[in-house]
Amino acid sequence: MAAVVTGIGVACGLGHGKAAFRAGLFEAPDLFSELKREGREPAEGEASFLGVEMPELPEVLPTRLARSATLSGRVALTVLKEAWLEADLDAVDPERIGLVVGGSNLMSREQALAARDYAGRLSYLPPRHGHMFLDTDICGLCTSSYPIRGFSMTIGGASASGSVAVIQAMEAIRSGRVDVCIAMGALQDLSAYDLHAMRSLGAMGSARFADKPGKACRPMDADRDGFIYGEACAAVVLCRQGLTSKHKIYGELLGAGHVADGSRGPEPSSAGQVRAAKMALSDAGLGLADIDYVNGHATGTPAGDDAECETYRTLDLQHARINATKSILGHGLSAAGAIEVAAVLLQIREGRLHPTRNLENPLDPSFDWVGGEAVGHEIRHALKFSFGFGGIDTALVIGAPGTGARAR
């Protein structure tokens, strides 16, 4: 049984809301610059970190509550509000609505600032710090602000967290546990400690593009230098088929694959990625020839992009159009899978594919990459990849409305 998507909420460097997201996806403006949020300052003598930070967000919480909510929590409420209203969830029994928040260790920047501000005077630490830095505080903010009474949970999958949340929401719908499940990829608010560690690990881009930040994020390009961080958060509303009218449906979640490949850190595994894709296709009742579009994980890390290209070759995906959403938004880490699912669904609705910025020398020219301009393309069945540190490989098959009949 397919789950259908009836609501989307987004926040990223392009702005807050789907209108800004949709326009920016196809225009692909240069959003990249030095990171400026307090708590992301480089060590003395080190180059600044590059990335994308979102604009100031609209306040949707009462002032008293907002003071005790983290940035990740406040952004979560803005995207939930947009998705909730679009999907008209006030008309659904609250006990039939669930919430899965993808991400772990989400508020490390604000934790680091709190440790700095209260060092030597811990007796002044606000009591709410006892729960406000837990990932489940985002569940609490969401369920206390909106009537979600089926269940709520957080789930960690590193950079695949958003997609893992979508998979868990699909399974909750399929099992009949709830009729509606909101899958959210939460804002991973990185601190300077995290950024330094990622740079030292060789996963995040170096200072090579410090004088031209707009060139730094270049997934699947021969001159890639590592991922570039981008603030993001997204929520997608999954519903049981038949619960809503057809004209409100963005697309159908037809199949999913989620496997462990046996690695601990950032080492990618093409074999695991292939297994996840085949599992998703089998679940959807489709074959590789049915896939006409691939939204890659495509981070811009040397090892990651190489392994992913090998996956494409093994699956013989030369016939499908391929692009990389991270080239526009940066890497949203926990949020990446969810906001990229939103990007797939909007491209389905628009009938065109967004550009891939900085794709000047593709790693493998035999694939049908989308380059620097948006192109028209009718998507029937898309394959969406997301991978995470710790050997987490996921794949989703997403269909245009009405294309899942064969799978059912």
Task: Check: CB of residue 77 under 8 Å from CB of residue 63.
Answer: no
Question: Rounded CA gap, 360 and 146, in Å?
Answer: 45
Each residue's pLDDT expressed in tens, for the chain with a length of 408 residues: 679 999 999 999 999 999 999 999 999 999 999 999 999 999 998 999 999 999 998 888 888 788 889 999 999 999 999 999 999 999 999 999 999 999 999 999 999 999 999 998 999 898 888 899 999 999 999 999 999 999 999 999 999 999 999 999 999 999 999 999 999 999 999 999 999 999 999 999 988 999 999 999 999 999 999 999 999 999 999 999 888 766 689 999 999 999 999 999 899 999 999 999 999 999 999 999 999 999 999 999 999 999 999 999 999 999 999 999 999 999 999 999 999 999 999 999 999 999 999 999 999 999 999 999 999 999 999 999 999 999 999 999 999 999 874 443
* pLDDT number for residue 155: 98
Residue 293 dihedral angles phi and psi, to the nearest 5°: -155, 140
Task: Retrieve residue 337's tokens.
Answer: 């899978």
* pLDDT number for residue 242: 80
* pLDDT number for residue 66: 81
Question: Rounded CA gap, 53 and 78, in Å?
Answer: 16
3-247 and 255-399 share one CATH topology?
A: yes
Task: Check: CB of residue 394 under 8 Å from CB of residue 163.
Answer: yes
The model scores a pTM over 0.85: yes
- For 393, which DSSP code? E
* pLDDT number for residue 256: 98
Beta bridge partners of 253: 3, 398
Tell which CATH architecture fits domain 255-399: 3-Layer(aba) Sandwich (3.40)
Question: Rounded CA gap, 353 and 346, in Å?
Answer: 9
* pLDDT number for residue 408: 39
Q: Which CATH superfamily is domain 3-247 in?
A: Thiolase/Chalcone synthase (3.40.47.10)
Question: Rounded CA gap, 251 and 285, in Å?
Answer: 16
Residues 6+ apart with CB under 8 A from 176: none
R_g (Cα) of the chain, nearest Å: 20
Enumerate the domain spans of the chain. 3-247, 255-399
* pLDDT number for residue 319: 97
